[in-house]
Amino acid sequence: MVEFKTVRGMRDFLPEEAKIMRYIEDKARRVAELYGYKEIITPVLEPYELLAAKAGEEIRLRMYTFKDLGERMVAMRPEFTPSVARLVATTLRNEPKPFRLFCVGSLYRYDEPQQGRYREFWQSNFELMGSDKPEADAEIILLTNSLMTLVGLRNHTFKIGHVGVLRGVMSGEELDEKVQNGAMQLMDKKQYDDAFRLIEEAGSSSKCIATLRKLVKLRGGNLGIIEKMKQLVKNYEEALKATENLQQILKLVKASECKIEMTVEAGFARGLEYYTGIIFEVNVPEMDKALAGGGRYDRLIALFGGEPTPAVGVAHGIDRIMLAFQLQKTALKTKDERKTMIIPISEELNGEALKISQMLRDADISVEVEVTGRKVSKALEDANRKKMDYAIIVGEKELKEGSVVVRNLVKREQKIVKIKKIAETIKGQSG
Ligand code: HAM
């Protein structure tokens, strides 16, 4: 027999890990409620063309793509944004804007597997569509900060840039979009010299290269950095407008007075090609990979045949948030639920045990029924190993009186309790 393993890059989540994953997902759902985002569920499989349109080389080449049995070119989604944009361009096109839409689920990219990088991973994704105003960009940053804080992460920082600044300088030199995209991809990988070479070969002036060289060195936590950026790009109208837009967004975030750490990097680029405005990522000091990434993309919905609809969004990498959570040894704050095992003494009492278990579940008590027919002493050992709080032993003698034995496994004491009173006893006792 072959011993089966998971496919490379795919993982199993055992109960402890699954619990943390779902905890983070719950916090993301809470953020969606707190900010008024409605959940939508979109397919894992989408037309290849939709996902490839503006994904950028990095992601496009790493998609799981195949022909289905009906000869359709399909791909497993590497991100949510194109699916949400498709919906807004089609089914939702006549609905009143703005839209605040939330999704959570698994994504697929043929990335090189390593810590924090998997071929199947999870995101919580927020899109705000129908506003080109800086308050929309500020909201996406603030809700991301809320999620990190709700999860209990510490020292997370936002790295912020604006694609309009770099692209504005390049457009000022009339560099076509293909060259710009290539340069942005290289800058995303921090291969600045290669990016400058590409721009130079495409015929740009030495003044443009010099401006870009200075820009990519500009970074800092102080908003004063923006003034320096403005100074640098003052002869490039589009780039200057982009810098002012960035300044407005950051002012709004500051005005919210929420606790947030931000650094501006003028040379910051992201792999996805649809961005047209602010872009950002979130990092923690314990990890070298981003926990979340997002930005403004004002042309994607029109590209999919919809009304021109400005949009901004973010995806939070649940796997990486989970890793940061573990590295920072953050405590899981879950409700402390009592766990109970119900053990029938003999086979004839199985039905009675099931009846009592249902009654307790109706009273919102979680119950495990002993289903392997083992002896009471063995079942009790198992209940202790699982750190359960109570065992209910269903025996002939007590049943005749309408009672069972309720054993408090923490205090190691037991008493006979009327069936009607079990829920009350369990809920009422501490420990
Ligand atoms: P992204 O930067 O490609 O953006 O991904 C967002 C986050 O997903 C990353 O910061 C990371 O935490 C997580 N992630 C990406 N790839 C992997 C992987 N191979 N393994 C584990 N985690 C990963 C987007 O996906 C955009 N759709 C975000 C967006 C929404 N922009 C506007 N709206």
CA-angle at 248, arms to 245 and 254, nearest 5°: 145
3-state secondary structure of 93: coil
One digit per residue, pLDDT tens: the chain, 431 residues?
889 999 999 999 999 999 999 999 999 999 999 999 999 999 999 999 999 998 888 899 999 999 999 999 999 999 999 999 999 999 999 999 999 999 999 999 999 999 999 999 999 999 999 999 999 999 999 999 999 999 999 999 999 999 999 999 998 888 888 899 999 999 988 899 999 999 999 988 888 899 999 999 999 987 789 999 999 999 999 999 999 999 999 999 999 999 999 999 999 999 899 999 999 999 999 999 999 999 999 999 999 999 999 999 999 999 999 999 999 999 888 777 889 999 999 999 999 999 999 999 999 999 999 999 999 999 999 999 999 999 999 999 999 999 999 999 999 999 999 999 999 999 885 43
Q: Residue with structure tokens 């981003």?
A: 290
CA dist., res. 307 & res. 305, Å (int): 7
Structural domains of the chain sorted by starting position, each given as residue range(s) with its CATH number in brackets? 15-327 (3.30.930.10), 339-426 (3.40.50.800)
Residue 323 Cα, ligand 1 centroid: separation in angstroms?
15
Residue 316 Cα, ligand 1 centroid: separation in angstroms?
7
CA dist., res. 344 & res. 352, Å (int): 8
Extract the tokens encoding 52: 């490839």
Of all protein residues, the one whose alpha carbon is nearest to atom 2 of ligand 1 is 293
How deeply is 130 buried, as exposed, middle or buried, from its count of CB atoms within 10 A (0-12, 13-18, 19+)? middle
Residue 84 Cα, ligand 1 centroid: separation in angstroms?
15
3-state secondary structure of 329: coil
Question: What confidence score (pLDDT) does residue 429 get?
Answer: 58
CA dist., res. 104 & res. 236, Å (int): 40
| Closest C-alpha among 122, 105, 36, 30 to residue 333 | 30
Atom of ligand 1 lying closest to residue 80 CA: 27
Residue 317 Cα, ligand 1 centroid: separation in angstroms?
6
- Rg for the chain (alpha carbons), in Å? 28
Extract the tokens encoding 255: 């005005």
Extract the tokens encoding 75: 């791909």
Sheet containing 292-296, strands listed edge to edge, beginning at the edge strand earlier in sequence = 38-39, 99-108, 120-129, 311-317, 292-296, 278-283, 157-162, 261-265, 219-220
Of all protein residues, the one whose alpha carbon is nearest to atom 16 of ligand 1 is 117
Return the H-helix or E-strand segment holding 246.
helix 237-255
Residue 293 Cα, ligand 1 centroid: separation in angstroms?
6
Question: What confidence score (pLDDT) does residue 175 get?
Answer: 85
Atom of ligand 1 lying closest to residue 116 CA: 21
Cβ atoms of residues 198 and 186 within 8 Å: yes
Beta bridge partners of 1: none
Residue 221 Cα, ligand 1 centroid: separation in angstroms?
24
Cβ atoms of residues 297 and 82 within 8 Å: no
Atom of ligand 1 lying closest to residue 118 CA: 20
Q: Work out the angle between the directed axes of helices 206-217 and 224-232 (0-180°, nearest 10).
A: 170
Of all protein residues, the one whose alpha carbon is nearest to atom 25 of ligand 1 is 79
Q: Which residues of 135-156 are buried (b: 16+ CB within 10 A; e: fewer)?
A: ebbbbbbbbbbbbbbbbbbeeb
CA dist., res. 396 & res. 398, Å (int): 6
Atom of ligand 1 lying closest to residue 59 CA: 3
Question: What confidence score (pLDDT) does residue 430 get?
Answer: 43
Return the H-helix or E-strand segment holding 80.
none
CA dist., res. 260 & res. 281, Å (int): 13
Choose the residue to mutate in 123, 153, 278 for probing ligand 1, maximizing ligand atoms within 8 Å of C-beta: 123
3-state secondary structure of 170: helix
How deeply is 223 buried, as exposed, middle or buried, from its count of CB atoms within 10 A (0-12, 13-18, 19+)? middle
Extract the tokens encoding 41: 């569920």
Of all protein residues, the one whose alpha carbon is nearest to atom 32 of ligand 1 is 313
Cβ atoms of residues 341 and 383 within 8 Å: yes
Cβ atoms of residues 188 and 291 within 8 Å: no
Choose the residue to mutate in 77, 147, 272 for probing ligand 1, maximizing ligand atoms within 8 Å of C-beta: 272
Q: Max Cα separation, the chain?
A: 96
Residue 409 Cα, ligand 1 centroid: separation in angstroms?
46
Residue 124 Cα, ligand 1 centroid: separation in angstroms?
9
Atom of ligand 1 lying closest to residue 281 CA: 10
CA dist., res. 262 & res. 321, Å (int): 18
What separation in angstroms does the CA of 266 have from each of 150, 166, 228, 277, 376? 29, 8, 10, 12, 68
- 322 Cβ contact list (under 8 Å, min separation 6): 17, 20, 21, 24
Residues with CB under 6 A from ligand 1: 79-81, 109, 111, 116-118, 121, 123, 125, 127, 272, 290-295, 313-315, 317, 319-320
Choose the residue to mutate in 320, 322, 323 for probing ligand 1, maximizing ligand atoms within 8 Å of C-beta: 320
